[in-house]
Structure formats: C-alpha cells, structure tokens
Chain A
Amino acid sequence: MAALNRPTPASLHEYIWQQEKNSRSQSPLLLSPEQILRYGAIVGSVIQCHSSMDRTMDQARQHISDLEKTGVSVASGTVILADTLIRSKGRFARSWHAPLGGLWGCLILADTFLTRARTLLPLTLGISCCEAVRELGADKACVRWVNDVLFSGQKLAGFLVESFHSPHHDETFHLLGFGININNTCFPDDLENTAVSLCQILGTPVNLHDFTLSFLAKMAWNIGLLAYEEEQELDRYYSSEEEKSHLLLDQWKRLSDTLGKRVIYGYDIQKKPQYEARVIGIRPDGALIMRLDDGNEIIEHSGELHYL
C-alpha cells in the first residue's frame, strides 16, 4: 500500500530554499542563511515513505546493512517515514503509540561530527520540532531538557537518538528517531492525560505533508548550525580566540522552559526518580546544572526531568 505522507527530496529542497530561507533571513542572526542551510543540505537527500512498519530505527539499521552488503554506503541525511508504526517504542523499551496521523520517522546521519557537536546533536530534534509547531500557532510549546516537546505540560513529541556501527564497513551512524503527535487524537489510557497532538492544540487538522517539510527544513537549519559552529570552534582553536556562545544552545535557551524550573531528576525517571532540585543553568556541552536543597550544585549529562 502506498504511503499517505509522501514528501520528496525535491519538494523538501524547494521548501528549504524558499520558505525556510526567507523565514531565517528575517531572524536577527548576523549570518548568511544560505551558508547555514548549505551545511545542513544533506537532510532529506533520500526520503523513503512507507505506509506501515515495525520501527523506523530498525528499518534504518537494516537499510544501512543491506546497502553495505552490495558495496554501497547509505546516503547521509536519508529520512525514513512511516504513516503508522506497529511496534514503536521509546527509551528503556517504553511503549510509544504511533497511529495514523502522526509524524513518525528516522533521520540517518553519518558520524562526521566532532565531540561537542555530537553531544549537542539530540538538541536539534527538540528545537526543530518546537520551531515548527510554534510557527503553526502553538506558541506555548516548549522544550524540556534534553529534547522533549511539551505543550502545557503534555507531551507533544518525543525523540530517540541511537548510534549504530555498521556491520560491514564499520562506520558509525546516528539514527535520529522522531515521533510527533500531529493529527492523531486518540491515545491509550495511560497516555490520555499526558500526551497531546498538534491538531488538539490548534483545534483544526494540520497538513501533515507541509508539517513534515517544515520539520525537516528546520532540522537542516539546526544541523547546519552545528556544522557552522564546528567551523567557528576550529577557527578559534587555531587563532586562540575566546569562546563565544553557541548558536544552537542559544536557540535551545529561547525555546526551553527548563531553566529556573524545580524538577525531579532521574536517569530513568519512570522507574527510579532520584532527587529534587532547581535547574540553574546549562553548560556549553549541554549538561544541566542543578542546585539541590542543601545548596550544592550537581551537573547531569544525561537523564530525564519531571517538572514540579
């Protein structure tokens, strides 16, 4: 059966170089949007559209392996989309409900990043999604560290990033899985009060095809920012210039409501919440700085939060 949501590399390219470039040109950044978008141009170099599959992350791994068997490398920036997922899951094998109407997929990126960019890579998903839903009018959408997107405390989107070492060429790829509730409005009982879709927020159905293009275009921009900052970092390394703020982190701060919040932290918060603290900052490597009730600070590079 043919997929319902069928964006193509050509339609994405057109969207990026018209809508996305124009909207970024109006932002106050003293940057050339063309330069950033060129850096991120690999996103959507190939787009596979499926009506249904088990999991897009598994499909990505299989796709990489299958191509390598024939002596070919996968195109970095390949996007795999499915109208519905049968066996989707979140982190720690948590279930994820992925019926028709949502945006479910995976972006494959070859590991061409330096350490800092690799560490910040998961932020690009939350930022891009938050930008895309705000653009449609969901102004109150915010990013919760690391990259959950919430609207009035309810989860609108969740993301998974997994690295994969290919079996034949021994190359490393990052698989960026995304699940965004768009037009799906029914959730399982256990998610009924904690999940929300964009359609429910806006009170009207959303054009899934257009949203997909917008989200992927923003991924191209934000991955472009990572690459741009990498270049700047290397320039500073050779010129001994002082470190400046990171454009991707700056955008994360603009879109996130985590800073200043009182939270419960846990590595796997559903199974084992660990402690309460107040978030007081984010470090240049994306790590969260929190203050405990005894006044001491603690820094976490990984884990999950619940707002109190």
Chain B
Amino acid sequence: MSEEIDFDAILGKYHSDPYSYIEICATQTGRVSFKIAEGDTVNSPSGEWLHIPGSQLFEITRERNPKLVTAKINGTISSVRTELEGQFVEAGEKLLTIRHPLKKKEVIEGILKEVLYLFPAPERAKYFFSLDIQSRIEKKGAKALAINPGDEIIIMSLMKRDTPIYYTGEAGVIHSVYFTPGVSVDQGQPLIGVCALDKLPLIQKVITRVKADWDKLSDPAHLEE
C-alpha cells in the first residue's frame, strides 16, 4: 500500500462516473433467452433473508433443463448482447452489463478494498469467527486485534461440518468484516479486510477524506446515502 494516496484522483474518478459496471456471464452452456432490454431497471434480492429473488435477467436452457438467472445487484441494464437471443452460448460468455449506482458507503468500501488485504472465502459456506477471536473482538474490538499468518481466525460451516480457516495474509488488524454469521458467503468473496498496524492512520484518513469530500463535490441526483 502506498504511503501517498492521491485523494483528488480517486475521488475525481468516482465523481465523474459514480457507478460500477457488473458484467453478467452465462452460468452454464445452453440456449439463452433474455428477459430484459437495454435501459431496463433491475432490482437486487430483497426480503429480510434476501430470499425474494432479484429481477429476472435471462433463462438458459441445456438439455431441456431451463435455469433462470436473476439480478444480484440493482441498477440499469447498460448493454445486452441481443444478437445472442435464442443462440447456444458457452458457460462464461458475457451476456449483459448492469450499471449499478454507488452509495457513499460502497465508494468507501471500494477504495478500502484497493488498499486492504482481502482474505477470501474458500468455499460457498457460512462463516463465524473462532471462539477465541470472537471473545477478543467483543472485549477490545476488531481494530485492536492483531492477527498473523497461521492464526486460526474463522470457522467455515457447511452441512454442520466446521472447518478452521487459517489466516494466510500479511500481519495486521482486522479493519473490515464482510460476512455476517448465519449468512452464506460465495466462494472468493472477501471475509475480512486486514490492514498493517502502521497503515491504520492512513486508512482512517481515506475514510475521513471520502466522507468529507464526497457530499461537498457530489451531484445529489446521482448519489444515495
């Protein structure tokens, strides 16, 4: 992580285009049928347990087995490969793009994800801190908790099989926690963001600066709290 961060450049980038662009690809090989058109608004999953699926994006059928794919994030359809309608596509083929309007919190998280060490989930499963780590977090808070490579920090739970997860990143403190106990995390998604102890003031500076400057410079029409 660089000691010098060009705040103006980072904020300028987000201000000029306060969106993220999420490419949606074919989840399996099959014949694709789109359920949306360019410019459509799509919703993310909702409900207390996020159990109400997001907007329908496309259906992909292989061997008479249709699979409906829904939006995992809200936004506007910025492009659709309509030439593929009714065609057979390979798994992984890009099909459409969702333009997602960023909230201030997401901008901060986005910047932090560039500067923190992100420790990823090894499998789609539920995660919780190991008992020792949990009790230390409850006593002192995560940011006072130093972790080192090899520490057993998290338990992965899948079908009541609990697997200790050993930390493999750089030594530091847990700055951000991206999982909620009891909620499944997809493979590869970050579980925690770790910051070297001496870099903590710099991270705080990023957050303070974004919070202060974002509202001042932003176009309220684009942004959500």
Contact = CB atoms under 8 A, between A and B. Distances in A.
Is A bound to B?
yes
B212 interface: no
Interface in A88-129: 91, 93, 118-123
A286 B182 contact: no
A270 to B, nearest CB: 13
Contacts of A147: 160
Contacts of B52: 294, 296
Interface stretch (A39-47, A159-167, A183-191, A208-216): A159-167
A122 B159 contact: yes
A122 B49 contact: no
Contact of B162 (A91, A272, A296): A91
Contact of A146 (B124, B125, B160, B184): B160
B163 A146 contact: no
B216 interface: no
A292 interface: yes
Nearest to B52: A296
Contacts of B51: 292, 296-298
B7 interface: no
Contacts of B166: 165
Interface string A128-172: 000000000000000000110000000000011111110000000
Contacts of B120: none
B47 interface: yes
B150 to A, nearest CB: 10
B175 interface: no
A122 B49 CA distance: 25
Interface of A: 91, 93, 118-123, 146-147, 159-165, 174, 266-268, 272, 274-275, 286-287, 292, 294, 296-298, 301-303
19 contacts: A91-B162, A119-B159, A119-B161, A160-B160, A161-B162, A162-B163, A162-B164, A163-B162, A163-B163, A163-B164, A164-B164, A267-B181, A286-B159, A294-B47, A294-B52, A298-B49, A301-B126, A301-B184, A303-B126
